[in-house]
Structure 1
Amino acid sequence: MIVVCGEALFDVFSDGETPDGYALSARFGGSPFNLAVGLARLGATPLFFGGLSNDMFGRKLTAALQSEGVDISVAPRPAASTALVTVDVGANGTPTYTLYGSATAEREVTTADLAPLPLDAAAIHVGSYCMAVEPVASTLKALVTRQQGRSLIAFDPNVRLTIQPDRSVWTDAISWMLPVTDLLKISDEDIELVFPGLAPQAFIDLALGAGVALVVVTLGGNGVLAATRAVGTLSLPAQNVTVVDTVGAGDTFQAALLSHLSRQRLLTRAALETADRPALLAALHFAGRAAAITCSRRGADMPRLEEVPDHD
């Protein structure tokens, strides 16, 4: 079982201008929500641990997770509203996010909510802005501390300065996580936002030195870098695809990576530390193919296992 921690919310897109404003389209969103759905579609067994509201949006998110086969039996249900995030997609397909709402359900998760989470989970995934807002950030740190050595700890910062504008909060969160993380996925954009001027390879060296077993840096259209201490750094080109937008591409990559590692019995720290070059390349190629499919669709429409080609 892979426990996915963090936000479930609604992304709000513009469907174009109208005489008196905009036509809006609201779609399921939140990096951890996307990841949980992606894992389920790719054949893994995800358990979602994030605050779900009882408002109309929260009920829809709950129903969506259930329909995808995501276990929500331990998801907290705080008396708070669902966060809404507008997505402004630029000409190159890159999204800009703006949050509407505060003290929303995804934030109101406390250490008291941790009790029902299984101690024997194969992996715990944390990340996105729930690692940078309280009280949920402290709750997830407590969970990581509890599970370190019991479960593989996966982390994707997914930095959102429009939601938490204080860079030092992100820097502190990443610095705290590096020594306790087994699998780190981060984008080059995130590195530049939090550590301006630090090259991806320099960050990889920093993360490996801090104790991360597998570091993956996604480079958008320039592909991906990945490294372990045993294998060194691998470089893969991006998949050729007609990009509609890149919403959910990173979440798809992480879902595909985790699901592939799980199927290959590599979802442990020891397995990642000793994995050889062919095994790592196979995992990364699979993740890249899955992410390319999401880029060819509007929004975070994650692929199913049968849609992902066996080879490039």
Structure 2
Amino acid sequence: MRPQQVTVLGECVADAFTSPPPAPAELSLRVLPGGGPANTAVALARLGTPARFLTRLSQDVFGRLFRAHLEASGVDLSGAVRAAEPSTLAVAELDDQGQAAYSFHAEGTADWQWTRAELAAAGPDDSACLHSGSLALVRDPGAPAVEEFLARAATTATVSLDPNVRPLLVRPDVYRQRLPRWCAAADILRLSEEDLELLLPGTAPDRACDTWHAAGVRLVVLTRGARGALASLDGKRVEVPAPAARVVDTVGAGDSFTAGFLHHLGSRGLLGGRLDGLRVDDVADACAFAVRVAALTCAVAGPNPPWGHQLTPVDAVASE
């Protein structure tokens, strides 16, 4: 079965990684195209899912880099807006475990300027799933228009959200305030352990899942790094271990997990509507595939998800 189409809505970010300086009092940066939603769209397309990306692409040097990267990965940019504002820049420092600490340069940049007219022009499509989240849902002035777009999409498509909390840019209490509304509109909530601690400090994962189920979301998926993933479908839990992996860095791993998860469900015709036909075994299988896609992303530098042909025979069968 050909995978169902997925539309992704959100930002592109230029990820600038520090490297040893060539001389004293200098700093060298290696810039890669990134941003959580962009990474997810790229990973979906590379896995073989028809991926449409609704984004605001700057016309600056970074915007041209984004466009080339997205098009080379097979992402459909027919709904992208050509934006006059500059691109968002994130400077990342990696620790010994490959974890990134970011500083952001995001004031007045293209990603947060969505208007209702722009999103109306993007229009409804035949996508089985709309995935969004990250900063587009919380950064003004565009966030209210994005929320309204998600609510409209929920009438025909499965809605998947990844909060991807960025406390350096938006206070966690802003996410906390809006999350119940998102859960009411969403069918899938994918988040990391770091997100959980920022959203519900000190709360056990099981209790957090129950809280979000009560707010309306049917499926919660919590990624736990090297410990795999925990998923809860209407309160039925499943844990999936992560494979052993060589880690260069973890940048984009969560986005690749999301893409692998949605690709697996879409390959089986399980996306669309309110996930009425989904079983907990389907969720476990999708998580098992997704952790392998994330592990392959960790094995290379930056947000560089695998192509379908790079999967092992076991992975390839799992994605069919």
Q: Normalising by the residue count of structure 1, what TM-score does the alignment of the two structures yield?
A: 0.95
C-alpha contact (below 8 Å) 1:78/1:109 kept by paired residues = no
Q: Give the Cα–Cα distance (whole angstroms) in 1 for the partners of residues 163 and 313 of structure 2.
A: 29
Gaps of 5+ in 2: 316-320
Query: Any residues of structure 2 matched to 1:33-48 within 5 Å, and which?
Result: 33-48=38-53
Counterpart for residue 304 of structure 1 = 307
SS of 1:14's equivalent in the other structure is strand
Counterpart for residue 318 of structure 2 = none
SS of 1:247's equivalent in the other structure is coil
SS of 2:144's equivalent in the other structure is helix
Aligned-pair RMSD on alpha carbons?
1.5
TM-superposition CA deviations, 1:6-56 (whole Å, max 9, x none)? 111210001213322221100001001101100100101111111110111
Please say if 1:155 is aligned against 2:161: yes
C-alpha contact (below 8 Å) 1:3/1:49 kept by paired residues = yes
Q: Give the Cα–Cα distance (whole angstroms) in 1 for the partners of residues 209 and 196 of structure 2.
A: 10
SS of 1:216's equivalent in the other structure is strand
SS of 1:261's equivalent in the other structure is helix
Q: Give the Cα–Cα distance (whole angstroms) in 2 for the partners of residues 288 and 114 of structure 1.
A: 32
SS of 1:115's equivalent in the other structure is helix
Counterpart for residue 76 of structure 1 = 81
Please say if 1:168 is aligned against 2:173: yes
Query: Any residues of structure 2 matched to 1:1-312 within 5 Å, and which?
Result: 1-18=5-22, 19-119=24-124, 120-164=126-170, 166-229=171-234, 232-270=236-274, 272-311=275-314
Q: Give the Cα–Cα distance (whole angstroms) in 1 for the partners of residues 196 and 42 of structure 2.
A: 26
Gaps of 5+ in 1: none
The amino acid that maps onto 2:137 is M
C-alpha contact (below 8 Å) 1:228/1:273 kept by paired residues = no
Q: Give the Cα–Cα distance (whole angstroms) in 1 for the partners of residues 54 and 46 of structure 2.
A: 18
Q: Give the Cα–Cα distance (whole angstroms) in 1 for the partners of residues 142 and 206 of structure 2.
A: 31
The amino acid that maps onto 1:276 is R
Q: How many residues in Structure 1 have an aligned counterpart in Structure 2?
A: 309
C-alpha contact (below 8 Å) 1:2/1:123 kept by paired residues = yes
Q: Give the Cα–Cα distance (whole angstroms) in 2 for the partners of residues 170 and 194 of structure 1.
A: 7
- Report how far residue 269 of structure 1 moved: 4.1
Percent identity, please: 36
C-alpha contact (below 8 Å) 1:214/1:273 kept by paired residues = no
SS of 1:17's equivalent in the other structure is coil
The amino acid that maps onto 1:63 is A
SS of 2:239's equivalent in the other structure is strand
SS of 1:176's equivalent in the other structure is helix
- Report how far residue 202 of structure 1 moved: 1.0
C-alpha contact (below 8 Å) 2:45/2:73 kept by paired residues = yes
Over 3 Å counting, the alpha-carbon distance change for 1:209 and 1:273 in structure 2 is farther
The amino acid that maps onto 1:235 is E
The amino acid that maps onto 1:95 is A
Q: Normalising by the residue count of structure 2, what TM-score does the alignment of the two structures yield?
A: 0.92
The amino acid that maps onto 1:289 is R
- Which structure has more relative contact order (CA 8 Å, sep 6+)? It is 2
